[in-house]
Amino acid sequence: MAPLIEPRVLKGFRDFLPAAEIERRELTEQIETSFRSFGFVPIDTPALEYTEILLGKGGGETEKQVYRFRDHGDRDVALRFDLTVPFARFMAEHRSELPLPFKRYHIAKVWRGENTQRGRYREFTQCDFDIVGSESAGADFEILLMMRETLRSIGVGDVTIRMNHRGVFNRFLRRLGIEDKSVEILRTVDKLSKIGMESTFLQLSELIGPEKAQNVLNYIQPHNTYKETLAAITEAAGGPGPDTERLETLHRFMEDAGIADIFVLDPSITRGLDYYTGVVYETFLNDLPDIGSVCSGGRYDNLAALYSKEQLPGVGASIGLDRLIAALEALGRTKKALGYAQVAIACTDESLGGHYQRLASQLRCAGVSCEVFTEAKKITQQYALAEKKGARWVIICPEDAFTHEPLRLTLRELTSRRDTEGLAVEELIRIVKG
Amino acid sequence: MAPLIEPRVLKGFRDFLPAAEIERRELTEQIETSFRSFGFVPIDTPALEYTEILLGKGGGETEKQVYRFRDHGDRDVALRFDLTVPFARFMAEHRSELPLPFKRYHIAKVWRGENTQRGRYREFTQCDFDIVGSESAGADFEILLMMRETLRSIGVGDVTIRMNHRGVFNRFLRRLGIEDKSVEILRTVDKLSKIGMESTFLQLSELIGPEKAQNVLNYIQPHNTYKETLAAITEAAGGPGPDTERLETLHRFMEDAGIADIFVLDPSITRGLDYYTGVVYETFLNDLPDIGSVCSGGRYDNLAALYSKEQLPGVGASIGLDRLIAALEALGRTKKALGYAQVAIACTDESLGGHYQRLASQLRCAGVSCEVFTEAKKITQQYALAEKKGARWVIICPEDAFTHEPLRLTLRELTSRRDTEGLAVEELIRIVKG
């Protein structure tokens, strides 16, 4: 006999046992329900793509993390590391088949060979939603509203959405004469909440000198209200422009929709990635702000520039499912369901398997999920098994149940250990459905 | 400017546009609902595993098809090519954490570098369901019943489940003295429906000579009824045994459950793969038999033998989602939904974005999915867009709608082109919900 192979998964990868997987499925189902209520439609793309498609822009850190190899046809291929790049390729390829503005969501796994010491996983799920083919403020606002409604629907409590506009910041940098350093400055400012004010100042000073570093730090301080902050950054940027007008319009939309209180204009929000060109936003849980942004996004003016000459402006956001689950766990709001069966049918005689399943079918038809036990173990063991599987009830069929009409059954409620005898199937269904 | 990268997917891989992806999601949701009604729970495992885990048994053709490479840590890794091998590893690893018998389902993508000329895809979805930790006939029967109920629930019409038992066939081969060739004989017989009787005879003759080939062909002919076939193969195998008793018990279960008519005992069903040891089955659509089996499976006596010394008997089956969708398409039973929004709110003034979304929120709260248009194009263009997105209704807000209380709206039904004016929100919701 060959020696045994040690059963194990790769570092940074995970099995999901039933309780964890049920939680994940319920969460994604709630997220999908919310997306669909806004009229967004799902797409899917391959896990594996040409490397040239995925790494078109190059990009140092990403490139190092990508799972890349040569396939059977010696093609240079890679596993997707996010859902944005495949979506850009998808839009360039299928644009003519899709009604614009196109509103899509995509919930799927992505892979990055990240350093697992930072608590990161190498396989994780993203939930992206985007509106492509619209430059309107209404599209920006819809994504903001979806972020709020979707997070609300999954029970993480109240959220605060911190937003900003890349354009205003760029105008401000231009005025200071440091526009050429904008990417580095954006990246540094983006780390503010992680590294603190002092380190940010030192890093900025190295880039642009201490005086301008102080200017930048002053700029990124939020004021008391959205309107005050907007006035301050408008002035710092040299007066109104389409960018500040967009921020103003969005604020009016929030007021008209009656949800202005959850939005904060925060000039320190920049989103490190450089493909955003308009509004950017991050979402924080009021009950758990330290966990960081659970949903982030922004506006880009040309999604598919690498693959197509046609301009495709859009706006979107992404929910990180793993961080969200970590948040729900920290808040004690996971559901910890063990299974789906409400009822288990005990097996007291293995030769009655057909009858048990016929009874179970009646329950299932009535909308009661029902597991049939197939082994005639001691009844107390069967109660224990039913409890482990999360069922609330066990049906016991008396010895002669299936030879005498009508069928009379015993129903046990597991928590109270109370038995009710002599029930007809219809009565039993009524009790179980409450 | 850099030259454009051609947007394309790898051969054998596919994008799913909204209509196709909606179809796939609805189908998997129906399948999941059915699995859950039987008390089965979901698990998930990594897409990427150690190659030694996935290819433990070696196995010529599989090995050639696997996407295999060295990762950043120089580990020999591969993408999963089915859901059975990862499940075996999962059970060996987590057995002590799971209540046995354990009933799980797993719906996920798998990857094989297959020859695409045969119309095969290199990325496809499997829906597996198994009961592990039970040798009972009740477990065999539950899987058979689930196959039937699940396929029934997705509207592919009536099915015929053709079943057999590996043990009876093996006893028959032993009697003929050709047991040592059983794997090759099983593989040959398994191709019967594809290559026809004559070719099967020739291939068998090469293996075991014409006389015994004829014996095998006689054996695999089904008789008029389940009972007659059972009697014939029992005799050919040298009399009753646990295997023929199991087939008898299952037939009684079918009769007790009132579903015996859909099952055929077919001695030619062998399932080419050699890990099955008990009952095996394949499912055919009565309206479309030529498409082949849409759901197949069987009993195995030791799932995790490669990774664990503990015996884990089980029984399970797998639905091939892609073949099922091909079947639904051939039957003209796909739903061809274009989107989820029942209603679109027309945009006649872009500055009203906040009000439109507030109105939409009222509809969504009432369970009406609702897309908000964000660009003030011509109203006829907006009707056309709503139709392309599959909406049935468009709401038009009169010019002064949001300045006068109460709100009065116009509702257009797109197919009839009929407008109803002056509706309050509650009236409108009532009409839309039918």
Query: Residue A269: which residues within 8 A CB-CB, separation 6 or more?
Result: A162, A163, A164, A280, A281, A282
Are residues B403 and B329 part of one domain? no
The percentage of residues in chain B with a pLDDT greater than 90, rounded to a whole number, is 82
Which of A17, A38, A41 is the best substitution to test chain B (most B C-beta atoms within 10 A)?
A41
Which residue in chain A has the smallest CA separation from B36? A340
**Given A10, A37, A103, which is nearest B49 (Cβ)?**
A10
Are residues A364 and A295 part of one domain? no
Separation between Cα atoms, residue B124 and residue A46, nearest integer Å:
10
Separation between Cα atoms, residue B31 and residue B50, nearest integer Å:
30
Other Cβ atoms within 10 Å of A296 Cβ, number = 21
Q: Does A69 touch chain B (CB under 8 A)?
A: yes
**Given B8, B14, B358, which is nearest A258 (Cβ)?**
B358
Structural domain total, chain B: 3
Compute the nearest-CA separation of B220 from chain A (Å).
Answer: 27
Separation between Cα atoms, residue A418 and residue A8, nearest integer Å:
43
Q: Where does the pLDDT of residue B431 fall: very low under 50, low under 70, confident under 90, or very high at 90 and above?
A: very high
- Rg of chain A (C-alpha set): 28
pLDDT of residue B1: 59
For the segment B25-73, what is each residue's pLDDT rounded down to a tens digit? 999 999 999 999 999 999 999 999 999 999 986 656 778 899 999 999 9
Compute the nearest-CA separation of A362 from chain B (Å).
Answer: 11
A-chain residues near B5 (CB < 8 A): 52-53, 56, 306-307
Instruction: Report yes or no on B118 lying in a domain.
Output: yes
Q: Which positions 355-374 of A are in contact with B (Cβ < 8 Å)?
A: 355-358, 360-361, 364, 369-374
State whether A138 and B356 contact (CB < 8 Å): yes
Q: Which positions 285-324 of B are in contact with A (Cβ < 8 Å)?
A: 304, 306-309
Which residue in chain B has the smallest CA separation from A23? B42
Counts of helices then strands in chain B (DSSP H, E): 15, 16
State whether B307 and A7 contact (CB < 8 Å): yes
Are residues B124 and B100 part of one domain? yes
Separation between Cα atoms, residue A175 and residue A169, nearest integer Å:
10
pLDDT of residue B274: 61
Sheet of B76-79, strands arranged across:
B48-50, B76-79, B68-70
For the segment A121-151, what is each residue's pLDDT rounded down to a tens digit? 999 999 999 999 999 999 999 999 999 999 9
- List the beta bridge partners of residue B76: B70
pLDDT of residue B7: 96
Residue A154, pLDDT > 80, answer yes
Other Cβ atoms within 10 Å of A152 Cβ, number = 14
pLDDT of residue B111: 97
Q: Name which of A269, A126, A369, A26 is nearest B103 in CA terms.
A: A369
Residue B379, pLDDT > 70, answer yes
pLDDT of residue A333: 87
Are residues B108 and B15 part of one domain? yes
Which residue in chain B has the smallest CA separation from A306? B4
Residue A379's φ and ψ, nearest 5 degrees, are -60, -35
Residue B119, pLDDT > 90, answer no
B-chain residues near A72 (CB < 8 A): 64-65, 113
State whether B46 and A355 contact (CB < 8 Å): no
For the segment A261-320, what is each residue's pLDDT rounded down to a tens digit? 999 999 988 876 667 899 999 999 999 988 889 999 999 999 998 999 999 999 999 999
State whether B340 and A364 contact (CB < 8 Å): no
Instruction: Report yes or no on A265 lying in a domain.
Output: yes
Q: Where does the pLDDT of residue B368 fall: very low under 50, low under 70, confident under 90, or very high at 90 and above?
A: very high
Which of B48, B153, B322 is the best substitution to test chain A (most A C-beta atoms within 10 A)?
B48
Q: Does A67 touch chain B (CB under 8 A)?
A: yes
Instruction: Report yes or no on A5 lying in a domain.
Output: no
A-chain residues near B16 (CB < 8 A): 42-45
* DSSP-derived 3-state class of residue B56: coil
Q: Where does the pLDDT of residue B273 fall: very low under 50, low under 70, confident under 90, or very high at 90 and above?
A: low
State whether A350 and B9 contact (CB < 8 Å): no
Ramachandran area for residue A325 (φ above 0: left; ψ -120 to 50: alpha; else beta): alpha
Residue B420, pLDDT > 80, answer yes
For A77-95, b where at least 16 C-beta lie within 10 A, e where not — what string?
bbbbbbbbbbbbbbbbbeb
Looking at per-residue confidence, does B188 or A243 come out higher?
Answer: A243
Average pLDDT, chain B: 93
Within 13 A of A249's CA, how many CA atoms are on the CB side?
Answer: 21
Are residues A409 and A305 part of one domain? no
Residue A299's φ and ψ, nearest 5 degrees, are -100, 140
DSSP structural state of residue A179: G
Residue B182, pLDDT > 90, answer no
Instruction: Report yes or no on A251 lying in a domain.
Output: yes
Q: Name which of B345, B429, B361, B341 is nearest A257 in CA terms.
A: B361
DSSP-assigned states of every residue in B408-422:
-EEEEETTTTEEEEE
Q: Where does the pLDDT of residue B194 fall: very low under 50, low under 70, confident under 90, or very high at 90 and above?
A: confident
Q: How many residues are there in chain A? A: 434
pLDDT of residue A64: 86
3-state helix vs strand vs coil in chain A, percent to 5? 45, 20, 35
Which of A1, A10, A338 is the best substitution to test chain B (most B C-beta atoms within 10 A)?
A10
Are residues B70 and B203 part of one domain? no
Assigned token pair, B371: 């897309």
pLDDT of residue A253: 97
State whether A364 and B18 contact (CB < 8 Å): no
Compute the nearest-CA separation of A250 from chain B (Å).
Answer: 8
Q: How many residues are there in chain B? A: 434
Q: Does B386 touch chain A (CB under 8 A)?
A: no
Is A54 exposed, middle or buried (CB count within 10 Å of its CB: 0-12, 13-18, 19+)?
buried
Other Cβ atoms within 10 Å of B201 Cβ, number = 17
Other Cβ atoms within 10 Å of B377 Cβ, number = 13
**Given B21, B113, B309, which is nearest A43 (Cβ)?**
B21
Mean pLDDT of the region A73-93:
96
pLDDT of residue A119: 72
What is the domain-level CATH number for residue A413? 3.40.50.800
Which residue in chain B has the smallest CA separation from A375? B136
Are residues A353 and A319 part of one domain? no
Instruction: Report yes or no on A32 lying in a domain.
Output: yes
Compute the nearest-CA separation of B24 from chain A (Å).
Answer: 10
B-chain residues near A372 (CB < 8 A): 38-39, 138, 142
**Given A5, A77, A131, which is nearest B306 (Cβ)?**
A5
Q: Which positions 149-168 of A are in contact with B (Cβ < 8 Å)?
A: 149
pLDDT of residue B176: 93
Q: Does A385 touch chain B (CB under 8 A)?
A: yes
pLDDT of residue B295: 95
Compute the nearest-CA separation of B430 from chain A (Å).
Answer: 17
Residue A96, pLDDT > 80, answer yes
Mean pLDDT of the region A55-62:
71
Instruction: Report yes or no on A308 lying in a domain.
Output: yes
Q: Name which of A256, A36, A33 is nearest A137 in CA terms.
A: A256
Within 13 A of B382's CA, how many CA atoms are on the CB side?
Answer: 22
**Given A249, A257, A356, which is nearest B358 (Cβ)?**
A257
pLDDT of residue B58: 60
Are residues A384 and A275 part of one domain? no
Instruction: Report yes or no on B2 lying in a domain.
Output: no
State whether B369 and A10 contact (CB < 8 Å): no
State whether B136 and A388 contact (CB < 8 Å): no
Instruction: Give me the amino acid identity at B146.
Output: M
Instruction: Report yes or no on A152 lying in a domain.
Output: yes
Average pLDDT, chain A: 93
Residue B272, pLDDT > 70, answer no
Residue B9, pLDDT > 80, answer yes
**Crossing angle for the helix pair A166-175 and A242-257, to the nearest 10 degrees:** 150
pLDDT of residue B187: 83
Are residues A282 and A134 part of one domain? yes
Separation between Cα atoms, residue A55 and residue B425, nearest integer Å:
49
**Given B46, B101, B109, which is nearest A9 (Cβ)?**
B46
Mean pLDDT of the region A210-222:
93
Separation between Cα atoms, residue A74 and residue B74, nearest integer Å:
19
Instruction: Give me the amino acid identity at B400.
Output: D
pLDDT of residue A195: 87
Read off the pTM. 0.94
Q: Name which of B376, B280, B304, B294 is nearest B330 in CA terms.
A: B294
State whether A364 and B16 contact (CB < 8 Å): no
pLDDT of residue A399: 85
Separation between Cα atoms, residue A357 and residue A364, nearest integer Å:
10
Contact B131, B102 (CB under 8 A): yes
Within 13 A of B388's CA, how many CA atoms are on the CB side?
Answer: 14
Are residues A279 and A247 part of one domain? yes
Query: Residue B298: which residues within 8 A CB-CB, separation 6 or more?
Result: B166, B271, B276, B278, B279, B280, B281, B315, B316, B317
pLDDT of residue B173: 93
pLDDT of residue B285: 95
Are residues A425 and A387 part of one domain? yes
Residue located via tokens 């709206």: B409
What is the domain-level CATH number for residue B274? 3.30.930.10
Residue B246, pLDDT > 80, answer yes
Other Cβ atoms within 10 Å of B38 Cβ, number = 25
B-chain residues near A31 (CB < 8 A): none
Other Cβ atoms within 10 Å of A348 Cβ, number = 17
Are residues B192 and B79 part of one domain? no
pLDDT of residue B184: 86
Residue A58, pLDDT > 90, answer no
Domain span at residue A286 reads 18-330
Size of interface A-B (CB pairs under 8 A): 338
Q: Where does B27-122 show beta strands of DSSP type E?
A: 41-42, 48-50, 68-70, 76-79, 102-111
